[in-house]
Chain A
């Protein structure tokens, strides 16, 4: 069991509540997508709740704070930052009440005022922009850092190499967070390329490399806390590879078609698995159920009643 000090208990409960909320919100969007309600592709991120909440909570995000540079699969981070579904869902729908007044949509959703200045729908495109955002912080001589989120697909793009070399050469305060979900559209890594050992690649550039499991919120948070502290102090890039499971389809609803092997249904409960490979199960397995279960059950009941 994880032991929490009194001072951190409240924060932890709030963060874990948010993880559960993000799961339920994604279920709601998934059910909405099943009704063919969206004309545009929405990239859900079941299983990304823990990394999103851990990252957002170790950063000082904001208009004058740290910045996140996101890819097309950004919904977990958006929900972790906005802390509510409505501005995100409305943006997906192109509504004026969305966080960007419906102008940016799903794959480019951004909100500078909460530290989300740039999101790209083009694989790997945000890496170079991240370098510019970070260099600007150096010119302004502030202590802000930039986190670039990309995936195992983006790292195949030449710009991944270019941006890492550039960030190292110019000593930029960037965390390159690689979400390795072994999925690029419908292809696994094995189905499309040779193995890329990011640790060796980083080693060749003398960029510190870390690895973490995406289901383990507690280790993610402590690892990220250390990494962010190092970047803030040393003003040098670091790479963190996070192992994630592609629970949902690349885009759209899951299941997306009758013979689809992937099944996610809100009526089966909010969990994706019986095992702790699901970040929610992992949290449950590590915490005193008498403390967290009532709060979590309350969230689930509240959110089940909420319509979108």
Chain B
């Protein structure tokens, strides 16, 4: 059986979740033409009085359109080729949404979801390189979800399409042709965007931000090869400060390894890290940013190093063994 790629999987999930909704407006540039935004919007169907609108190039109006629909109780999904394009809708995203949050009871609103892509597949020039959804959505503090794997993506899409209010969902273009991870989710707090894939150990907890679930899962596997069990979490929303109380192993974690992309001052793991840093438990933090090839930029014990994946595992073992009191 042919392995389902990331974009095939995401497209299928989007289709499946939208197919059951009535009177939804699906809109965006080229969503029903050509490559269907690199396969993202292929095969979309609408029910009832819904609309599938291949619209002109006016992103500011698109964002305002979704807000107006939301006010009048109609749910919509805006598909956009790049997160950068959404800069043109910032006024609507900030000012209009703030008005709506003040004037309306959320339960009476429609749902408005923006699904867009992060251009992380290579250098496209200075104007197509804004790849920080966490920084983008910090501006209006809206929910922001990053689709990494099948199970959590399905939970996110179900939540986003059915919950009133505004939210942004981002896909990674660099993952498009790669196999889609099919990890099981043990539990999740979707309001805070925290997903637990394995909650077996509080010795080591791997916390993945951005699109780093693959790296986190790989690290967990390799640690298990050397007899070390680790829990695996992913966090992708900056809406609210995530609450660790829903994840006891994370709360008690002795060593927290944060894997996230390193090109921004805002990371999706930030709220959770802030909470872990300010609680009363002693623990060690290791920050790891995947670089080119097998290399990671690692910060542990206040030392910054460029390490290979294997060297990073050794480093983790050393920290674990030299801090038995943790």
Binding site for B on A (CB under 8 A): 100, 103-104, 108, 110, 112, 117-122, 125, 127-137, 139-141, 158-159, 162-163, 165-166, 169-170
Contact = CB atoms under 8 A, between A and B. Distances in A.
B67 interface: yes
Given A139-B50, A165-B56, A131 B68 contact: yes
Contact of B49 (A119, A140, A166): A140
A119 B102 CA distance: 12
Interface residues of B, number: 34
Contact of A166 (B61, B95, B104): B61
Given A125-B92, A132-B68, A140-B49, 16 more contacts: A108-B99, A118-B68, A128-B60, A128-B68, A129-B65, A129-B92, A132-B64, A132-B74, A133-B68, A133-B69, A136-B69, A136-B71, A139-B51, A139-B69, A140-B23, A165-B58
Given A125-B91, A140-B49, A166-B55, A130 B99 contact: no
Given A140-B49, A159-B61, A165-B58, A132 B66 contact: yes
Interface in B3-55: 23, 25, 49-51, 53, 55
Nearest to A164: B61
Given A117-B71, A120-B96, A132-B68, A158 B60 contact: yes
B255 interface: no
A139 B25 contact: yes
B205 interface: no
B65 A131 contact: yes
B67 A129 contact: yes
Nearest to A166: B61
Given A139-B49, A166-B56, A170-B53, A125 B74 contact: no
A135 B60 contact: no
Contact of A128 (B23, B65, B73): B65
A101 B101 CA distance: 14
Contacts of A119: 99
Contact of B58 (A104, A112, A141, A162): A162
- What is the interface of chain A mostly: helix, strand, loop, or mixed? helix
9 contacts: A104-B102, A117-B72, A118-B96, A128-B68, A133-B71, A136-B69, A136-B73, A140-B23, A166-B65
B64 A127 contact: yes
B95 A136 contact: no
Contacts of A100: 103
Contacts of B68: 118, 128-136
Contacts of B76: 132
B205 to A, nearest CB: 42
B128 to A, nearest CB: 21
Contacts of B99: 104, 108, 110, 118-120
B102 A129 contact: no
B95 A125 contact: yes
Nearest 5 A/B pairs, CB to CB: A132-B68, A128-B64, A136-B72, A162-B58, A129-B68
Contact of B65 (A125, A132, A141): A132
A154 to B, nearest CB: 13
A115 to B, nearest CB: 12
A132 B103 contact: no
Interface in B64-88: 64-74, 76
Interface string B138-178: 00000000000000000000000000000000000000000
B95 A131 contact: no
B114 interface: no
Given A118-B71, A128-B65, A135 B25 contact: yes
